């Protein structure tokens, strides 16, 4: 006597394989939809115009022959500026991580009587590669460089290089 189909191995084997594929695709869809990609830009036109503006600000920093000396120790950032800039003007310092947007930090720094900018960071910067951007408060010049943390002693950033 032959057993009914639901008691045999091969029908269940043929049913389970497609069910596993469906379950895996639903799990993949869940992973893809649960996390937003922070690196995708919505408005490409505005981003392109901003890049053109950035180039003119970088050229202005090179014309002013700006040099920044950066130190980062014990979660304190120390910045000294040299060149033909307005002494005492406030500067914005942006640390942007290439892949982790939640680690990004933006600082507005003012100098002390000696022309040294100091600030404490909200959270420590993690080790690895960072995009550093230093710009005037009014935005008429900008310096940028890719750096690697931690900084051993000091880091010199020359405009235009």
Q: Give the pTM.
A: 0.67
Residue 70 lies in a domain: yes
pLDDT at 95: 93
Angle, CA 97 vertex, CA 88 and CA 30 arms, to 5°? 145
Q: Give the residue among 140, 141, 138, 155 at the shortest CA–CA distance from 90.
A: 138
Q: Give the residue among 109, 73, 103 at the shortest CA–CA distance from 88.
A: 109
Structural domain harbouring 142? 66-158
Residue 148 lies in a domain: yes
Give the residue with greater pLDDT, 14 vs 44. Answer: 14
Residue 7 lies in a domain: no
The CATH number given to whatever domain includes residue 114 is 2.60.40.10
Q: 129 and 147 in contact (C-beta within 8 Å)?
A: yes
Q: 59 and 143 in contact (C-beta within 8 Å)?
A: no
Average pLDDT over residues 75-100: 88
Q: Which helix (H) or strand (E) holds 53?
A: helix 44-63
Alpha-carbon Rg of the chain, whole angstroms?
A: 27
Q: How far apart are CA 91 and CA 80, in angstroms?
A: 11
Count of domains forming the chain = 1
Q: Show the tokens assigned to 155.
A: 């880091």
94-121 per-position pLDDT tens digit: 999 988 888 999 999 998 888 899 998 8
DSSP conformation letters of 124-160: PPPSEEEEEEEEETTSS-EEEEEEEESPSS-EEEETT
63-77 per-position pLDDT tens digit: 999 999 999 888 889
pLDDT at 69: 93
Residue 60 lies in a domain: no
Residue 31 lies in a domain: no
């Amino acid at each position: 006597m032959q057993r009914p189909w639901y008691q045999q191995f091969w029908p269940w084997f043929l049913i389970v394989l497609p069910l596993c594929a469906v379950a895996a695709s639903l799990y993949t869809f869940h992973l893809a939809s649960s996390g937003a990609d922070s690196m995708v830009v919505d408005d490409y036109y505005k981003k392109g115009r901003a890049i053109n503006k950035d180039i003119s600000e970088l050229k202005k920093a090179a014309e002013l022959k700006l040099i920044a000396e950066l130190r980062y120790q014990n979660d304190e950032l120390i910045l000294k500026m040299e060149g033909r800039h307005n002494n005492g003007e406030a500067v914005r310092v942006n640390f942007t991580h290439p892949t982790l947007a939640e680690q990004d930090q933006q600082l507005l720094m003012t100098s002390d009587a000696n022309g040294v900018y100091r600030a404490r960071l909200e959270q420590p910067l993690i080790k690895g590669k960072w995009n550093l951007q230093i710009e005037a408060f009014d935005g008429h010049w900008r310096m940028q460089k890719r750096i690697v943390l931690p900084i051993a002693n000091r880091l010199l950033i020359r405009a235009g290089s």
